[in-house]
Structure 1
């Protein structure tokens, strides 16, 4: 059975892409042809996935956008569709879970058994206890928040502890103590390329999920220069709204595909 890291490495090489397409469906932004459909969220996301898959190496559905509309069953359908129709492209459930003990065990079951995600994002604020239950699911990826793309992340992530910022402590713990399964990755935002470089120096070739190059304005060249590994991979560079809402009319899929291709090519230009 292949594991998350192996699948991800294979996808980077096979697709020649570091682009992760984020799926944040908001029905109020859907084109008119989807209005009123009971399965509109699934239909929209499936169409986006099929249109952008040739240019992506992974997909990242954000669970809140489904749960807020009582569309968890459509999220299940969507992930099953990706696995069936685009095998080898890993699916990251962006859930940012952060609890301990039996509660974390249930969150892990939700991500990996119910939704069949290949990896899930988690919040390390409660320490290793909040990460360990996910590691018990063999071959599944655990992507730990480290230096997030939002400005407010500095409120905590830049607090000094032992003479260095907390985000660096998280990176070192992830690389040296927490990665018992070999399936850990970290979230580091494209809005902070200097911090990407620092984290890369701490964690070696550990994959980095890097949000923030689209609507949040992160610089692609600076991101790639700071985060690439020696073989020009090591990054899941995520863009969500800039791709999935590139078009507002019934040709939204073509518009999304065009922006996804352009984003992949822009990333590749600096690898």
Structure 2
């Protein structure tokens, strides 16, 4: 087990949760009390983290929501805060990077040295040499896009490759060749439970799956847990972002986020 997988496994057990809370800060949807605050993004996310940490197996900040608003320093501060206040909960930096050579090395340094994330999402489209630089950080997780939750993913991911869809070829490469050090996970969307089941069957029990698509995107919780869980009742990081973050824009926004996170965790656990 890598340090990332050990940390994730500990969080699954200790918090009795497969819920990964996504941090996608949209300032247009922030509560009024944060208006005109220069640190609004950090403060919003910090409060969400505090409210939902008891019900989560980790946090998944989406880097674009920070970078587009010149808030990378607030993301750094947020990652520092999570590590200090909730050291047992992994941080998955949702960056979906994909490049080769020295560029990939710099993306890896960004994720693992600047933000000190426990894992990062990456694209497999450029092949193994685009993944290898991330694997040099032997204690970190590398979560590879496989069958994404958006409808347009089928444009490429369903292409036939020697009698099977491309996403299953990716799953095979990850499980059988790229995951030699036990660092790899995969992204498979909750919106496609049949494909989720096919991936789990192909890869076995050990590779964790990051599963976006429940909540605002409409993925079914029961179908997700049944299709993607491993025989131990874990193996999943089921991500929910907007449904939790913006459960309320009133004065009760912190309490509402905690309530929805707890309800989502409990709904997931009902089918484990």
Do they fold alike, i.e. is TM over 0.5? yes
Match status 1:24 vs 2:24 = yes
Match of 1:58 in 2: 58
Q: Deviations over 1:44-73 (max 9, x none)?
A: 000000000000011000000000000000
Match of 1:88 in 2: 88
CA–CA separation in structure 1 for the residues paired with 2:9 and 2:33: 37
Deviations 1:140-182 (A, max 9, x none): 0000000000000000000001110000000000000001221
Superposition map of 1:232-251 within 5 A: 232-251=233-252
Question: CA-atom RMSD, angstroms?
Answer: 0.9
Q: Tell me which moved more, 44-53 or 242-251.
A: 242-251
The runs of 5 or more residues in structure 2 that have no matched partner are: none
DSSP 3-state at the match of 1:126: coil
Q: Is the 8 A contact 2:143 2:210 kept in 1?
A: yes
Q: Which runs of 5+ in 1 are unaligned?
A: none
Specify the alignment match of 1:160 in structure 2.
160
Does residue 174 of structure 1 match 2:171? no
Distance in 2 between residues matched to 1:67 and 1:137, nearest whole Å = 24
Q: Pick which of 152-161 and 197-206 moved more.
A: 197-206
For 1:108 and 1:247, the matched residues in 2 are separated by 35
What residue number does 1:9 align with?
Answer: 9
TM-score in terms of structure 1 length: 0.99
- How many pairs are equivalent? 271
Q: Aligned in 2, Cα 1:171/1:52: closer, same or farther, shift over 3 Å? A: same
Aligned to 1:258: 259
CA shift digits 1:92-138 (9 cap, x unpaired): 00000000000000000000000000000000000001100000012
Q: Is the 8 A contact 1:135 1:180 kept in 2?
A: no
1:69 maps to which residue? 69
- The answer (yes or no) to whether the contact 2:2–2:183 under 8 Å persists in 1 is no
Alignment-derived partner of residue 129 in structure 1: 129
Give 1:249 deviation, angstroms. 1.3
The alignment's TM-score, normalised by the length of structure 2, stands at 0.98
Instruction: Report the Cα distance in structure 2 between the residues aligned to 1:250 and 1:105, rounded to whole angstroms.
Output: 43
Query: Per-residue displacement from partner, 1:14-48 (whole Å, max 9, x unpaired)?
Result: 11000000000011110000000000000000000
Distance 1:201 1:139 in 2: 26
SS in 2 for 1:131: helix
